[in-house]
Each structure stands twice: as structure tokens, then as C-alpha cells.
Structure 1
Amino acid sequence: MNVEYSINEIKRISSSMFKKNFFGVFHGSISARIEHNQFVINKKDAIFDGLSNDDLTLLYSKKDYRWNDASIDSDIHLNIYKNIGEAKYICYAMPPYLTAYSIDHVSIEPKDYFGFMKFDNIFVYDIKQFDDWYERAPSEIARFMIEKNTNVMVIKGYGVYVYERTAYDLAKTVALLENSCKLLYYAKSFN
């Protein structure tokens, strides 16, 4: 995949996702696979609204000095890329309705047309303890996606990891999930 094209896609999509409140000011991650052993990802101090080339770093599976500036989620992205061939773009997002809905539910069953057509019943993964999550996350997330044969992992009170083949599909998947959870919330509040 062309590095410049991937960087431009990440910058374009991350700005849209930031404006929809899927990423926080310093919260979230987005990456694109360049080759089988390299990917570009945001740096840990990146602000997602208006990413520049300086906010991104090219990482190889063999760790070097660039990993020091990279997103805290870099190991998670690397492990997904290493284990799931069809993953071309990955993001970690924390959309507010989806994250809030995940706190009190064990699954998400979209009732709106677009959510229903795209997703089955989505299991909400409970990490149980927060203390060692970042040590466990790289292996647990990739293993969950492989075992459940899914490109979406909703994590209770934490957010969602998604991989897709295009940046457009990545943003669309997160948007559909967030919209379904928002509509479930509104439907419940009207009853």
C-alpha cells in the first residue's frame, strides 16, 4: 500500500471521527498497514482533529526508537496486523453512546435498520480488571477477533477496536455502531 495515500486517508478519516466525538483530544488510535511488517500509526501526543505528518509515525514489527513516540495502542495494532491478514486499517475509538451502553449490557442488538443490516448481536467483552489491561490487551483483542471471526470488539466501559479493509469502512463501522447505541438509548428513554 502507498505510504502517502495511507497517511492522507488516516488524516481525513481521523478528522471526521474526531468531530463526531469518536476520538478524544489525546484519546484513541488509528493506523494503516503499509507492508506485512510495517504500519503507520498516530503518535501518543497526537490531536486527531487536523493530524499532520508529524503526528504519525511509521513502525516496523521489529521495535526501534520510533516506538517510544507511538500511540500506547501500537502493540495492539501490531498484533492484529500480524494475526489477521485482511486488516488494512485499525482504530480504537471511544464513542460516548456505545461506551456508555457497554457498561450496563452484555451485548448490543441493533434495532435500527442500518445497524441491524450490518451487525448481528455484538458481544460486549468485559476486561474484568483495569490494572493490567494494557499488558493483556494485545493478545486478548487479536485472539477475540480471531476466535469470534469478527472485525469489531466492543469492550465494556472502554470503547471499541475495529479493523477494515478501507479507511472509509473503518469510519462507517464506528459510526453505525455509535448510531445504533444512540437510538437504543433514545428508544429506552421514550418508553
Structure 2
Amino acid sequence: MMINAHFNDIDEKLLLSLKQVSLSMFRKNFFGIFHGSISARLTYESFVINAKQAVFDDLNEKSLIALNTIKDYRWNESSIDTPIHAQIYKNYKNAKFIAYAMPPYSVSYSLKHTHLRPLDFFGRQILGEEVEIWDIGNYDTWYDRAMYEIADHITQNNKRFLIIKGYGIYAFDRDLNSLAKKIAVIENSCKILHFYADLQNS
């Protein structure tokens, strides 16, 4: 079932919030043209997520699909990341919003390091002194494993985000702006570390 014009006030606000944050993250290169995903919980067992062909700088009611956490035919039209989002919603009652992003500095930093150790003030304050960068191993089997392994690894780390080597960032939160801020802080810390390494080598 596509989200349509039959929004109540809460639905209209939700659509506007998703649209604004998605556009902001697209402009920062956190989302690609057809890469990345964003979702919001509607009820305990349902959520809305971007469609497979959604363009993130112009999300609208036609590019969002309302789904149940149990797979049905509607999943065929939704993001390839839908099973991962569904599993996170099942595992975490406090997950209201989820995003998967591929910020370039974070992804490139993850290829060379096993941990993120922020040097900047906000990185240290928000992320902590050290964050694991998770190596998923074999890329060929990744989407067969991702649905369960991402949710499990979030539990092991006891954080609301996960930096995945060569893949990107999964994050969830009760507040959409806080979720976007967390991804932005990770990317900014990786960017600062990149420039710092260049200064050290110059």
C-alpha cells in the first residue's frame, strides 16, 4: 500500500520531516541517487520506508511505502534495505527512525581502520573515545546475512549506530534530527582525521 493523500496531521508532519532530513542528507552526500534508505515507525508492527526507485532529494508520498515488519508482496517495491530496517524495528522498541547512509569520508576511513577514534571535540563528546568499525567479511554473501547480523552487532556494541567497513553507517533513534546529527558527527570526525593525517604527512 502506497502512502497517499489520506494523511492525518501527524502523517503530514512525518512526511515533511522525512522529506527535509532526506534532502539535507542528500545534499551532504550521505545518500546517493538510488543508494541509502530512511524509514519511520508507524506502529509497533508497521513502518514507512523509501521505495526502491526513490530519489532522496525529492521524497514524496509516491516514493514512500507503508509496510508491516512481516514480509509481504509490498516489500517487492520497497528499498533493498527493508529486511534490515524491519529486523531493527523488531529488536528495538525505542527505534522510531532508521537510516542507512554512505558518507564518503566515513566509508573511505573505514577501509583503512578498525576503529574510529575522534580527535575533535564533538566527536569525542557524542561518539566517545573509540568506536568499532565492523568488518562484515565476504561481500558476496552480505545481503543474505545483513538482516540479522546488523541488528545483532548493534546489540553487542550497545550503541544506536554502526559503522560498517566499506559499506556505510546504520543508525536509529527516537528523534529524526538526532539520528541525522549522529551520522553527520561521524562523517565530520572522519573528515577531520583525514585532513589531520594529511597535515601530519606534509
**Fold-level similarity (TM above 0.5):** yes
1:77 aligns with 2:85: yes
1:144 Cα deviation (Å)? 0.7
1:65 Cα deviation (Å)? 2.1
2:96 equivalent in structure 1: 88
Partner AA of 2:82 in structure 1: S
1:134 equivalent in structure 2: 143
2:32 equivalent in structure 1: 24
The residue matched to 1:24 in structure 2 has which SS? coil
1:7 Cα deviation (Å)? 2.1
1:49 equivalent in structure 2: 57
1:155 aligns with 2:164: yes
- Distance in 1 separating the partners of 2:71 and 2:11: 19
- Distance in 1 separating the partners of 2:178 and 2:49: 17
For each residue in 1:30-74, what CA deviation from the matched residue of structure 2 results, as whole angstroms up to 9, or x when unmatched?
Answer: 000010000000011111001111010000123222111100000
The residue matched to 1:41 in structure 2 has which SS? strand
> Does the aligned pair in 1 maintain the 2:69–2:87 contact within 8 Å?
no
Identity %: 47
Pairing partner for 2:19 from 11, 24, 31: 11
- Distance in 2 separating the partners of 1:72 and 1:103: 23
Which of the two has higher C-alpha Rg?
A: 2
Which 5+ residue runs of structure 2 have no aligned equivalent?
Answer: 1-8
With normalisation by structure 2, the TM-score equals 0.92
- Distance in 2 separating the partners of 1:172 and 1:134: 27
Q: CA RMSD in A?
A: 1.2
**Alignment length, in residue pairs?**
191
Partner AA of 2:50 in structure 1: N
With normalisation by structure 1, the TM-score equals 0.97
> Does the aligned pair in 1 maintain the 2:96–2:174 contact within 8 Å?
yes
1:148 Cα deviation (Å)? 1.6
1:122 equivalent in structure 2: 131
**Residues 13-22 or 57-66, more deviating:** 57-66
The residue matched to 2:140 in structure 1 has which SS? coil
